[in-house]
A and B are shown apart, each in its own frame.
Chain A
Amino acid sequence: MAAPAVIFFLLFAVVPLLGVVVLSFMAWDGLGTPVWTGTANWTRVLSDPVTHNALWLSLVVVVVSWAVQTPLAILLGVFMAGTQKYRSFLSILYFLPLLFSAAAVGIAFKALLDPNFGLGNALGVRALAQDWLGNPRLALLTVLVIVAWCFVPFHSLLYQGAIRQIPTSMYEAAMIDGVGRVKTFFHITLPQIRNTIITSSTLMIVGSLTYFDLIFVMTNGGPGNATRILPLDMYLRGFRAYDMGGASVVGVLLAAVGLTVSYLLNRAARTSSMDSQMEGA
């Protein structure tokens, strides 16, 4: 009964995963037959400053996205799990970015942020009429803000669900003991949603390693190489420069980084859960 799922997953995920390693040692322009070239792609791509830049940018994107989105998502999750008056209305608003395609979001923001036709000029606010996506110093920052706008709602939804499952008796006990809200948050809410933090972080990190649609639509990796993160580097090498071997090297890097990070996260999670159990005993 598991066979169909296994076959699909083997054919379109496991085989390509092995295939990307094999192709990283071959020269292929996307049309002819791949030819074995040994480590040529690897030495070329690894010594290319464009790759170094892409690796660095991807690292920045992963770290900044995680550091910005996780606290925001947790706080929003706490808020949405509560019983405030405007909660349901706000929950509808928060949900919207989840529904739209990255292409639609990217195109809309590109128009809104246009220095000549965009929102800044329309409102007559000089400070807003920047070339947000065309200025190499602002482009990555702008992209990161929009990416956060897109993804925080999904993660706050995860946290909302996790927080709702915390037994209310724990909060009642804290209230009777006269523990303040901040202390309650750090001593009850955060430890109780530890597993969700791991799940959300894994999804967030793998997700930010593969951000493609939005950045491709908004900047195409530019200006210069200012937003050319690893997935864009992979696409531009493979499907624009017809260097599939080089693109495969970048693909292997991406997969390796993703696997390493998830492994470390899971190990950290296991250690911390053992620690806390011992504390409790």
Chain B
Amino acid sequence: MLSNNFGLYFLNSVFVTAATVVVVLAVSIMAAYVIVRNRSRFSSALFSGLLLGIAIPLQATIVPVYYLIVQLGLYDTLWALILPSIAFAIPISVLILVNFLRDVPGELFEAMRVDGASDWQMLWKLAVPLAKPAIITVGIYDALQVWNGFLFPLILTQSAENRVLPLSLWSFQGEFSVDVPAVLAAVVLSVVPVLAAYAIGRRQLVSGLTAGFSK
């Protein structure tokens, strides 16, 4: 595995995960802010639309997603993984952030409004700092999903240079199916980075997930 470009696959996974999580967090916190603060018909329609995204298995749309990625000329690039991953992560991220932001007392926002703060300032100076635990939780959850994602890489990439870790395990297994210890060694190697991250952030992760999902 090490001699088989483990480093490259690792870096590909890091890039795809980081890019996805950063964008998901940015767009989801903005959307959650609008849904919580604007009690208009648009924002409630937006919220129900996103809730539908949780209820419908979005993987069912993989054929049109493939078509779209091919048409955009992104097939077999890392962007082919990042863009759909962002879209698929938005519903649950917004849901958790909305649940959290709803508990922020409205008076805090009103007070800032009276002081002449714009929506942007309220988002950055009030909502984001207060929602930090939820943001961390959503970030870790989305990161785990994308890091471990398999279907998008399988369908939307092809060449070895755009391989991510889970897919590299699978293809490694195909090439060396007889050498069980080597395949298992690769599996263990792929798990190490996640385990290390877990060892560092365990408390935050577990408490964030228990609080974030169960409202």
Contact = CB atoms under 8 A, between A and B. Distances in A.
Interface of A: 1-2, 4-6, 8-9, 11-17, 19-20, 22-23, 28, 30, 34, 91-92, 95, 98-104, 107-108, 110-111, 114, 117, 157-162, 164-165, 196, 199, 202-203, 206, 209-210, 212-213, 216-217, 231, 234-235, 238-239, 244, 247-248, 251-252, 254-255, 258-259, 262-263
Contacts of B169: 101, 103-104, 107
A11 B72 CA distance: 12
Contact of A212 (B120, B150, B191): B150
Top 5 closest pairs, chain A to chain B, by CB? A19-B64, A12-B87, A161-B210, A161-B214, A262-B55
A13 to B, nearest CB: 5
A263 B51 CA distance: 11
Contact of B60 (A107, A159, A160, A210): A210
B126 interface: no
B87 A102 contact: no
Interface string B40-51: 000100100110
A169 B119 CA distance: 41
B54 A203 contact: yes
B160 interface: no
B213 A234 contact: no
Contacts of B214: 158-162, 165, 196, 199
Interface stretch (B88-96, B108-116, B128-136): B88-96
A206 B57 contact: yes
Interface of B: 23, 26-28, 30-31, 33-35, 43, 46, 49-50, 52-68, 83-84, 86-88, 90-91, 94, 119-120, 123, 144, 147-151, 154-155, 165-167, 169-170, 173, 180, 183-184, 187, 190-191, 194-195, 198, 202, 206, 209-214
10 contacts: A1-B33, A5-B28, A5-B31, A8-B86, A9-B91, A13-B88, A108-B187, A158-B213, A217-B150, A238-B66
**Max chain A CB contacts within 10 Å: which of B34, B56, B165?**
B56
A12 B83 contact: yes
B88 A30 contact: no
B60 A234 contact: yes
B213 to A, nearest CB: 5
A134 B187 CA distance: 22
A153 B94 CA distance: 23
Contacts of A199: 213-214
Nearest to A160: B210
Given A1-B123, A213-B166, A251 B63 contact: yes
Nearest to B55: A262
Contacts of B155: 235, 239
B49 to A, nearest CB: 7
Contacts of A17: 56, 58, 60-61, 64
B191 A104 contact: yes
Contact of B151 (A159, A202, A212, A254): A212
B65 A12 contact: yes
A104 B187 contact: yes
Contacts of B154: 216
Contacts of B58: 13, 16-17
Given A101-B150, A199-B213, A212-B59, A206 B54 contact: yes
Contacts of A247: 63
Contacts of A11: 68, 83, 87
